[in-house]
Amino acid sequence: MDAAALPIARVAADVAPRAALSIYPEPYASLMRGRVKRQLGDAFGLKNFGVNLTRLEPGAMSALRHAHAKQDEFVYILEGTATLVTDEGRTPLRPGMCAGFPAGTGNAHHLTNESDQDVVYLEIGDRTPGDSAVWPDDDLQVIEIDGKRRFAHLDGRPY
């Protein structure tokens, strides 16, 4: 990004939503319907971490439940009540509450919106190279095929 073209500040809700629904293969990509991400960090040319303003409609989820090997993640709830699901169970997260997910613990997490109101939150994740992730509830893994990282079933068949 041309430094001269960088904004000084933005109204977060005015940043255009990300066009792509999800990087997951089907049938998982469709499960991300009702999730809208505004990539605030990218809007300022940040490289080391991402900050998204994410809205979950009723019934939507933040991601499949997952754990990162090298990248930390953090969420801060701005509106509505999310349900945080971790290995410990289900925890309601209300506005002003936050949760952090340090890399390498193996404790998988995601947010779901089980309410009848939208949930809006900030999510932060760094971009440490060489990361990997696990999805303990789903038939999903990332494997290397011909030197490229691909989503695959747990039995090794690529999606």
Q: Which listed range, 18-26, 36-44, 57-65, 136-144, lies at the site for a second copy (CB under 8 A)?
A: 36-44
Q: Which residue in 42, 31, 102 sits closest to 68, CA to CA? A: 102
CB 116 within 8 A of CB 58: yes
69, 124, 133, 134: which one binds a second copy (CB under 8 A)? 124
Q: Which listed range, 17-25, 118-126, 135-143, 145-153, lies at the site for a second copy (CB under 8 A)?
A: 118-126
Burial profile 62-97: b = 16 or more Cβ within 10 angstroms, e = fewer: bbbbbbbeebebbbebeebebbbbbeeeeeebeeee
Q: Which residues contact a second copy by CB under 8 A?
A: 3, 6, 8-13, 40-41, 43-49, 51, 71-72, 74, 76, 84, 86, 88, 91, 93, 96-103, 105, 107, 122, 124, 126, 128
